[in-house]
Amino acid sequence: MNLTLMQEHANLMKKSKGKLMKKLILVLVFGIVLSLGAVMAEGENYGKEITLSDQTKISDILAKPEDFVGKRVLVSGTIVGVCGHRGCWIELASDKDYETIRVKVTDGEIVFPMTSKGKTARVEGEVYKIELTKEQTLACAKHDCEAAGKKFDPKDVKGPRTIYQIKGIGAVIK
């Protein structure tokens, strides 16, 4: 009789251990799902952590770019272009139609994937300007046309050009 009681006790212990293991596994899976959900909601980080909290409108930068040169900003927008060669820049749509600003990063330091196009990015960086001669403007326009698979016509290029960009130091893409 003692042997039967011991076997029943052992069977009960196995059943309760099995139920406990199932509960533990469910809790672990639930925790992992919650963690992944939090990461997905926040987005994927590139470069350094974003430290600014006040956001600047891209349209404000483009309206008065000289006011922002040398200043650190936090901008947000839909990614409408990504460097296809090295992932070293993204083009962000402004809050106003037909306006964009390029975010350039140090080659290899941050690499934006081509799959980022169409996603939303928050980017922190410093606004800077590039002044191009007419020859440099022609070379840039030719390169841009070739990269986009478009026909280049030098007649479309007018004189020297000033470009305003953001030197990106950190981004979150979701």
Tens of pLDDT along 17-68? Answer: 655 555 545 444 454 544 444 444 479 999 999 999 999 999 999 999 999 9
For residue 123, what are the β-bridge partners? 75, 171
Read off the pLDDT band of 3 (50, 70, 90). low
Residue type, 27: V
Read off the pLDDT band of 140 (50, 70, 90). confident
For residue 27, what pLDDT is reported? 45
pTM exceeds 0.75, yes or no? no
What is each CA distance from 145 to 12, 70, 142, 154, in whole angstroms? Answer: 75, 30, 5, 11
- For residue 171, pLDDT over 90 is answered with yes
Q: What is the CA radius of gyration of the chain?
A: 27
Judge whether 148 and 170 are in contact, CB under 8 Å. Answer: no
Residues present in the chain in total:
174
